[in-house]
Structure 1
Amino acid sequence: MRRNMITLMAVVLFLLLGGQAVWADGEGNSEKEVEDSLLDSMDFNSIQAAVDEMLEDQSVSFFQAVEELIKGEDPFSYENVKKMVKKVVQSSWGTQKTIWINILILVLASALFSNFSGLFNDGQLGEMSFYIVYLLLFGLLIKNFTILSRELENTLNGILTFMRALTPAYYLSVATATGVSSAAMFYQIVLVIISLVEKVLIKLVLPGIHIYIMMSFVDQLSKEDMMASMAELLKNVLSWTMNTMLGMVVGLQVTKNLIAPALDSLKRTTIGKTAGAIPGLGNVINSVTEMVIGSAVLVRNCLGVAAVVILFLCALKPVLHIAVTGLSYRFLAAFSEPVTDERIVDTLNSMGEGCGLLLKALFTTEVLFLLTIAILAGSYGGA
């Protein structure tokens, strides 16, 4: 009891001294001083280093973006995002154009050899021609898929580096705006997500997608299905794993979000009413507390919005690259089906499904972090 009274008195003195300091130049200036003080206590250098590493040639200042959002400005204009999307699509097309032309030539060569071998009674010539073309196609597709998966792995590692740098700053803003319990909930969930992405997505799911692609390609070497069921099982296991991760983390967040903000609200209400009951000083304490918490909520939400946009921009390039590549293989499979061997068509479809799994891995990571930020940004901390 004595310790609680001492703590309460310390809080009251802090609020009174802070109130006298920040009220000296008026309410507007005091709010800005609180916001600047909170921003100055955060380490933006490591965050900016992670942003520069992820976006590479795109110069985006995270601290400047947060400041502009606090002022009510829009640092991420539609025109700039549109230019980035256009640039990424052009880059993806330029990278994949040569590969698509080579694949189309191999598909046409396979169709030509298949039809040409039909003129002879012996089908060995057609089979030999198919194996030659298929091995060339196999090597080309594996090389392209390796490039895509490596790009995705670098993106996931970049997202993890960014979230590690963002977590201390966001923790501080959440603790000030909402409470220590909510901030601890955020910190714990972020650590869980980082661990899941590192140990499950990067070390298990991505190699599993590689194995699925290899099994699908090897299965097409024979006219009979030898590994089709095993490849389908592996694909389902990978999808179930990512769905389970998403469901588990979302359920954990929803459950904790029902308790932590209510606990913080109860603590602040108790302290606020106790401090507000002090004769002659209660109104001043309540006014200063509301101003500090309101400024902290603004900083927290602006920090969250900037982080959400950065995560979106980080995923923009690999999403468009993988999506354009996967759709192109689907179109190649559809247009080549009437003229070429069915095994070539199945191989192209398998490549498209592999790109779909890569996209799902990226979307799972993005959704996990975006939901964590959005759930906290949707709660208001008040006394």
Structure 2
Amino acid sequence: MTEGSKGSSKKYMKLLLLIIIIFYAQPCSAVKASASLPEDINYTEIQDVINDVMGKGNEFQFDDYVDQLISGEEAFTISSLGNQLLHSVKGEINANLGTFGSLITIALIAALFTNLSMAFKNNHVSETGYYITYLLLFSLLISTFILASRIAAETIGSILDFMKALVPTYLMVVGFYTGSGTSLVYYEAALMLITLVDFLMVSIMIPMINFYLIIMLTNNLSKEDMLSKLAELFSSAISWLLKSMLAAVIGFNAIQGLIVPVADKVKRSTLLKASEALPGVGDALGGVAETILGAGVLLKNAIGVAGLIVILTICAVPFLKLLMITVVYKVGCAALQPISDKRFIECISASAKSAGMLLQTVFVGAVLFIITITIVAVTTGGIS
């Protein structure tokens, strides 16, 4: 090849690089670049899920909140969530006062039957009175627990619906700015986690908690203890499943976060250094590339934080409702123990434990996704 053709090739190469620089160099800062990026991302599906979950009074706009995070402003403060929780606390206290009053009334009626039968030395009256009041207690506990079980299942379902909408958008941004390898692995892991939570928590664990309560209520129909060990087995299995899921997801995400992003980070670093090494235009090209990558990291983290806020908001009120139901049952046990039959107390205590297990299930379900989003944000945070 002649020297003239070599010189011509170099000129064309420099001209091509100059065109690329002019095309990409319009945003002059990470904030300005990131401000224009959300317009290319469709948040409609995410917002539709948020509107369905939070109801008609929802004022949370996902795209606006992401924009506010990028620009450093505050669109959705913790105080607004606190006000919502305070309002919910008042409502739950009023709603559960009726349940507490019914527990006290049924226990007093049962105690009255027992004392009258002892006075007249008539065990038949005592047993009949016990079964009548036990049926009343059974109906009250079951109706309240059905409500609690529905709250838990709907809350986990809402989190799953939101994650199904969030994951494609979030990991698309992760893949565009940190590498397709990282994004693909995290996407597969997120889908696996969604399937795992849907199958184990909604289809297995919540029915197991329901079955645990039925066993305990049935066991206390008679004076003999026949089913407590079976109920204990269910309780241990539920506790073991929750702890195992939490440990497995944390461990898997931690190991994945240490290994997966490294290859893409090395490729990205190599490309940046190679672009900076180009004579004449290297510094400018490297600066533009770092600006675009920095804007992508900012957008990625903003979407992640917005996702965490939505998950916390979805869980806050249902979590509080389940907590109030658990507290009412436990206070009822403490108040009724001196005056009521031991089997009555065992039933109410089992209901409190079942509501507590529902509370733990919702908590673990939310924490699994919060940890996953956090680890993805942290491990893919650098641009070097």
Please indicate, yes or no, whether the TM-score normalized by the shorter chain is above 0.5: yes
Runs of 4+ in 1 over 3 A off after TM superposition: 12-19, 21-24
Are 2:64 and 1:64 aligned?
yes
SS of the residue corresponding to residue 39 of structure 1 reads: helix
Residues 337 and 345, structure 1, Cα contact 8 Å, conserved in 2: yes
Aligned to 1:6: none
> What do the CA deviations read for 1:15-67 (whole angstroms, capped 9, x no partner)?
8645424534x624xx3453244312322111001111111133211111111
Task: Report the more deviating stretch, 225-234 or 259-268.
Answer: 259-268
Aligned to 1:241: 241
Residues 182 and 257, structure 1, Cα contact 8 Å, conserved in 2: no
- The Cα of 1:376 is off from its aligned counterpart by 1.7
Which residues in structure 2 correspond to 1:131-170 (within 5 Å)? 131-170=131-170
Q: Match for 1:382: what amino acid? A: I
- The whole-number CA distance in structure 2 between the counterparts of 1:133 and 1:105 is 10
Are 2:42 and 1:43 aligned?
yes
Aligned to 1:20: 22
Tell which structure's C-alpha radius of gyration is larger.
Answer: 2
Residues 60 and 76, structure 2, Cα contact 8 Å, conserved in 1: no
Aligned to 1:4: none
- The Cα of 1:84 is off from its aligned counterpart by 0.4
- The whole-number CA distance in structure 1 between the counterparts of 2:102 and 2:16 is 71
Residues 319 and 359, structure 1, Cα contact 8 Å, conserved in 2: yes
Change (3 A) 1:213 1:266: same
Aligned to 1:341: 341
- The Cα of 1:192 is off from its aligned counterpart by 1.1
Which residues in structure 2 correspond to 1:275-290 (within 5 Å)? 275-290=275-290
> What do the CA deviations read for 1:307-358 (whole angstroms, capped 9, x no partner)?
1111001001110000011011001001100110011111111011001110
SS of the residue corresponding to residue 378 of structure 1 reads: helix
- The Cα of 1:90 is off from its aligned counterpart by 2.1
Aligned to 1:381: 382
For structure 1, the 5+ residue unaligned runs are 1-11
Residues 177 and 381, structure 1, Cα contact 8 Å, conserved in 2: no
SS of the residue corresponding to residue 116 of structure 1 reads: helix
SS of the residue corresponding to residue 223 of structure 2 reads: coil
Q: Match for 1:49: what amino acid? A: D
Residues 35 and 70, structure 2, Cα contact 8 Å, conserved in 1: no
- The whole-number CA distance in structure 2 between the counterparts of 1:133 and 1:19 is 82
- The whole-number CA distance in structure 1 between the counterparts of 2:199 and 2:90 is 34
- The whole-number CA distance in structure 2 between the counterparts of 1:321 and 1:193 is 26
SS of the residue corresponding to residue 120 of structure 2 reads: coil
Aligned to 1:258: 258
Residues 216 and 231, structure 1, Cα contact 8 Å, conserved in 2: yes
- The whole-number CA distance in structure 1 between the counterparts of 2:166 and 2:118 is 64
Aligned to 1:5: none
- The whole-number CA distance in structure 1 between the counterparts of 2:333 and 2:74 is 43
Residues 113 and 130, structure 1, Cα contact 8 Å, conserved in 2: yes
Aligned to 2:196: 196
After TM superposition, the score normalised by the length of structure 2 is 0.92
Which residues in structure 2 correspond to 1:218-229 (within 5 Å)? 218-229=218-229
Q: Match for 1:179: what amino acid? A: G
Change (3 A) 1:166 1:13: farther
Aligned to 1:9: none
- The whole-number CA distance in structure 2 between the counterparts of 1:294 and 1:261 is 16
Aligned to 1:8: none
**Identical aligned residues as a percent:** 30
- The whole-number CA distance in structure 1 between the counterparts of 2:15 and 2:290 is 16
Q: Match for 1:47: what amino acid? A: I
- The whole-number CA distance in structure 1 between the counterparts of 2:177 and 2:216 is 52
Residues 206 and 358, structure 1, Cα contact 8 Å, conserved in 2: yes
Aligned length in residues = 369
Aligned to 2:270: 270
Which residues in structure 2 correspond to 1:201-216 (within 5 Å)? 201-216=201-216
- The Cα of 1:100 is off from its aligned counterpart by 2.1
- The whole-number CA distance in structure 2 between the counterparts of 1:16 and 1:188 is 39
Residues 15 and 289, structure 1, Cα contact 8 Å, conserved in 2: no
Change (3 A) 1:18 1:217: farther
Q: Match for 1:51: what amino acid? A: I
- The whole-number CA distance in structure 2 between the counterparts of 1:155 and 1:41 is 31
Which residues in structure 2 correspond to 1:31-110 (within 5 Å)? 31-56=30-55, 57-110=57-110
- The whole-number CA distance in structure 1 between the counterparts of 2:353 and 2:308 is 28
Q: Match for 1:42: what amino acid? A: I
Task: Report the more deviating stretch, 66-75 or 85-94.
Answer: 85-94
Aligned to 1:3: none
- The whole-number CA distance in structure 1 between the counterparts of 2:66 and 2:74 is 10
- The whole-number CA distance in structure 1 between the counterparts of 2:19 and 2:35 is 18
Aligned to 2:318: 318
- The whole-number CA distance in structure 2 between the counterparts of 1:358 and 1:201 is 10
Superposition CA RMSD, Å: 1.8
Residues 186 and 372, structure 1, Cα contact 8 Å, conserved in 2: no
Task: Report the more deviating stretch, 318-327 or 71-80.
Answer: 71-80
Are 2:104 and 1:122 aligned?
no
Change (3 A) 1:262 1:67: same
